[in-house]
């Protein structure tokens, strides 16, 4: 860091506000704080009076009346499914998936629909404070293009399944197609990391699972899979392989720190121990699980065992929004009522799951999820000058029980301001919504 003639450190941007919620290991909250950025990194966090004396910034983003915090991490999405938002609701999970969603995807998913659907998801997530999302879907070249165009950060995974899928009509080459996707995108953008997403243990064979995981190991990337989302899935895997899903994956050598399991609703105590022992990350998706009546994941037990648990929204066909503030509120309240304990899933714990917990589950805890020198400059500000946010006693309580995605004012990703005072800077949200409405018209008409 260079210093000017007044002996001040030079920065590109300084963000100042009423509170800075760091979510570092001490969970420090700084009143009248500031965060200084140089390039894509944070170089200082502290009280604005001190940081201002030490650092000279080219630009100051005045967030008076706001709370500054790490950008939220949406740990599980199928972003392009914004195109199917509200298409079919209020059905049993297997009927919803196999009789409606899979057929709709077969007819209507292409790289272009995935591009526009993911662009719409990026708009929704940016405007509600998500700076990183972890995705898995078909035709993911479209999603990767959307990530680069929108400025958001993402782990983008090509979906793998053992029957004909959009973009991969021959399931015999499903893993080869996924590896080709990885080759195309690895190292192409600082905001994008490719991944492979095997749909589930009951839709992917042993050979498919093991080959996909081997490719992930070769490229040093994340392996993703739906795990024990429904009771029916558990019964199917037990019937087919003679073991429960987590034990099945362990036997195949798929569980390690570079594996992210989604849902984990029906994991047993023994399976929780298996996931913990293998340092696996887990995404908790309460709103999707509630809407599809999948069940309530044993999150308190997973956290107590040391599992890295983050929060996800799932796709818009099963949620139907991507607002992580709503997901936080649901997480806290669902577990309190389900387990009969108002102390379970405290506000501090839940905000950590949506930030530092998600980063740890992705293996990116050293880069994302908290504010401190050396961390990536992914930052959001929350406008506290709202009736529902007045008065303020405890910031995390407000974020979980009172705040909304619409309270997000500014968004910074990789040191770049991509939303300022709720105005997106780099993308045209009206154009994106118009394109998705055209796609929806084609879906209604059975065309495309």
At 217-254, the pLDDT tens digits run 999 999 999 999 999 999 999 999 999 999 999 999 99
Cβ distance 412 to 38 under 8 Å?
no
Whether residue 280 has pLDDT greater than 50: yes
Q: What is the mean pLDDT of residues 278-296?
A: 97
Count CA atoms closer than 13 A to 93's CA, side-chain side. 15
Place of tokens 């300022």: 420
9-70+370-414 to CATH, choices 2.30.40.10, 3.40.50.300, 1.10.150.20, 1.10.1740.10: 2.30.40.10
Of the candidates 225, 261, 270, the residue with the CA atom closest to the CA atom of residue 243: 270
Least confident of 13-27, 90-104, 195-209: 90-104
pLDDT at position 57? 96
pLDDT at position 404? 97
Q: Residue 250 and residue 253: Cα distance in Å, rounded?
A: 5
User: With bands split at pLDDT 50, 70 and 90, how would you rate the model's confidence at 448?
Assistant: very low
Q: If you compute the radius of gyration of the chain from its CA atoms, what whole number of angstroms results?
A: 21
Q: Residue 411 and residue 423: Cα distance in Å, rounded?
A: 10
Whether residue 309 has pLDDT greater than 90: yes
Angle subtended at Cα 330 by Cα 324 and Cα 335, rounded to the nearest 5 degrees: 135
Least confident of 48-62, 101-115, 316-330, 409-423: 101-115
pLDDT at position 345? 97
pLDDT at position 6? 65
Whether residue 156 has pLDDT greater than 90: yes
Spans of all domains in the chain: 9-70+370-414, 72-345
Whether residue 1 has pLDDT greater than 80: no
pLDDT at position 319? 92
pLDDT at position 262? 98
Alpha-carbon torsion 315, 320, 323, 325, what sign? negative
- Percent of the chain exceeding pLDDT 90 equals 90
Q: Is the peptide bond before 391 cis (omega within 30 degrees of 0)?
A: yes
Q: What is the mean pLDDT of residues 167-182?
A: 97
Whether residue 92 has pLDDT greater than 90: no
Q: What is the mean pLDDT of residues 36-51?
A: 97
Q: Residue 346 and residue 244: Cα distance in Å, rounded?
A: 31
User: With bands split at pLDDT 50, 70 and 90, how would you rate the model's confidence at 190?
Assistant: very high
CATH topology of domain 72-345: TIM Barrel (3.20.20)
205-220 residue pLDDT tens: 999 999 999 999 999 9
- Classify residue 400 by burial, with Cβ atoms within 10 Å: 0-12, 13-18, 19+: buried
Cβ distance 408 to 127 under 8 Å?
yes
Q: Residue 292 and residue 276: Cα distance in Å, rounded?
A: 27
Q: What is the mean pLDDT of residues 150-169?
A: 96
Three-state SS across 219-247? Answer: HCCCEEEEECCCHHHHHHHHHHHCCCHHH
Q: What mean pLDDT is reported for the chain?
A: 95
- Token couple for 83: 């195109």
Q: Residue 429 and residue 410: Cα distance in Å, rounded?
A: 16
Q: What is the mean pLDDT of residues 313-331?
A: 96
User: With bands split at pLDDT 50, 70 and 90, how would you rate the model's confidence at 98?
Assistant: confident
pLDDT at position 52? 93
pLDDT at position 181? 98
pLDDT at position 447? 47
Please report, for residues 83, 307, 326, 329, 429, the alpha-carbon distance to residue 336 in angstroms, rounded to integers and kept in the order given: 33, 20, 16, 11, 37
Whether residue 5 has pLDDT greater than 60: no
């Amino acid at each position: 860091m260079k210093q000017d003639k007044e002996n001040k450190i030079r920065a590109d941007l300084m963000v100042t506000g009423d509170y800075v919620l760091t979510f570092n290991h001490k969970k420090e909250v700084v009143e009248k704080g500031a965060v200084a950025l140089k390039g894509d990194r944070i170089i200082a966090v502290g009280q604005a009076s001190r940081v201002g004396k030490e650092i000279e910034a080219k630009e100051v983003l005045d967030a008076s009346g706001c709370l500054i915090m790490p950008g939220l991490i949406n740990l599980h999405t199928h972003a392009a499914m914004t195109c199917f938002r509200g298409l079919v609701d209020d059905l049993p999970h297997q009927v919803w998936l196999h009789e409606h969603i899979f057929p709709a995807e077969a007819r209507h998913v292409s790289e272009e629909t995935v591009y526009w659907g993911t662009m719409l998801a990026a708009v929704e997530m940016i405007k509600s404070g998500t700076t990183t999302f972890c995705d898995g879907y078909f035709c993911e070249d479209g999603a990767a293009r959307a990530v680069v165009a929108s400025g958001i950060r993402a782990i983008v995974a090509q979906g793998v399944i053992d029957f004909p899928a959009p973009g991969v009509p021959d399931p015999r080459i499903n893993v080869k197609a996924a590896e080709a996707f990885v080759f195309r995108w690895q190292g192409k953008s600082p905001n994008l990391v490719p991944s492979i997403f095997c749909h589930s243990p009951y839709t992917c064979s042993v050979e498919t699972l093991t080959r996909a995981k081997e490719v992930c190991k070769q490229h040093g990337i994340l392996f993703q899979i739906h795990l024990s989302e429904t009771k029916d899935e558990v019964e199917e895997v037990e019937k087919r392989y003679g073991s429960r899903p987590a034990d099945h994956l362990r036997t195949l050598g798929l569980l390690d720190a570079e594996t992210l399991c989604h849902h984990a609703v029906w994991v047993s105590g023994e399976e929780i121990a298996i996931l913990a022992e293998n340092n696996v990350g887990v995404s908790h998706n309460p709103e999707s699980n509630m809407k599809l009546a999948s069940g309530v994941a044993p999150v308190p037990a997973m956290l107590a065992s040391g599992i890295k648990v983050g929060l996800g929204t799932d796709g818009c066909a099963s949620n139907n929004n991507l607002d992580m503030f709503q997901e936080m509120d649901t997480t806290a309240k669902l577990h309190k009522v389900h387990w009969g304990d108002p102390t379970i899933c405290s506000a501090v714990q839940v905000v950590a799951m949506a930030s530092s917990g998600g980063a740890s589950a992705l293996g990116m805890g050293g880069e994302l999820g908290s504010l401190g020198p050396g961390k990536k400059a992914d930052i959001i500000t929350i406008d506290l000058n709202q009736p529902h946010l007045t008065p303020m006693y405890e910031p995390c309580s407000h974020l979980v029980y009172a705040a909304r995605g619409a309270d997000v004012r500014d968004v910074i990703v990789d040191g770049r301001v991509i939303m300022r005072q709720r105005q997106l800077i780099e993308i045209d949200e009206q154009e994106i919504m118009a394109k998705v409405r055209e796609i929806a018209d084609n879906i209604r008409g059975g065309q495309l």
